């Protein structure tokens, strides 16, 4: 999350969007990886929770996520970023939406000071 936020501030828009997509994907997978939580999810026959779009829908349907985040719009934004486009978007609202998802999944909040310092030279 820190890296995605930093890349936005550095105007590395495609890279930031792709990083933020990875943040959501990893957080959803982390949530569903715990057997007790996974067993409580409403997974319909034929659904593949390894697919990010499907997993988002499963988490929404199961009441883990409130559905306020427009995952389809974010997915489209990510596709444009993967094509190295610089899509125009309200990135402040995007960050708030992602933080909301991370909070609902139990990934946030956390004490950022407990993390090692970020190395901006990595990209």
* pLDDT at 62 (0 to 100): 98
Nearest to 28 by CA among 63, 64, 69, 61: 64
Cis ω before 97 (30° cut-off from 0): no
The whole-number pLDDT of residue 110 equals 67
pLDDT value at residue 115 = 67
Query: What is residue 65's DSSP assignment?
Result: S
pLDDT at 113: 72
How far apart are the C-alpha atoms of 4 and 12, rounded to whole Å?
9
SS3 (DSSP) at 58: helix
pLDDT (tens place) for every residue of the chain, 123 residues total: 888 998 998 999 999 999 999 999 999 999 999 999 999 999 999 999 999 999 999 999 999 999 999 999 999 999 999 998 887 778 899 999 999 999 999 998 766 777 667 776 766
| Residue count of the chain | 123
Long-range contacts of 36-39 (CB under 8 A, 24+ apart): 37/64
The rounded distance, in Å, linking the Cα atoms of 63 and 57 is 10
Q: What is the pLDDT of residue 35?
A: 96
Please state the pTM of the whole predicted model: 0.87
Gap between the Cα atoms of 13 and 20, Å rounded: 10
pLDDT of 123? 64
């Amino acid at each position: 999350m820190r890296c995605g936020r930093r890349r936005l501030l550095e105007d590395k828009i495609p890279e930031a969007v792709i990083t933020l997509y990875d943040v959501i994907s990893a957080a959803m997978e982390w949530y569903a990886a715990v057997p007790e939580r996974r067993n409580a999810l409403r997974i319909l026959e034929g659904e593949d929770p390894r697919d990010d779009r499907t997993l988002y829908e499963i988490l929404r349907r199961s009441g883990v996520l409130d559905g306020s985040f427009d995952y389809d719009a974010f997915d489209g934004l990510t596709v444009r970023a993967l094509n190295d486009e610089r899509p125009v978007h309200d990135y402040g609202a995007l960050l708030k939406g992602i933080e909301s998802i991370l909070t609902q999944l139990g990934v946030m909040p956390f004490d950022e000071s407990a993390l090692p310092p970020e190395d901006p030279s990595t990209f």
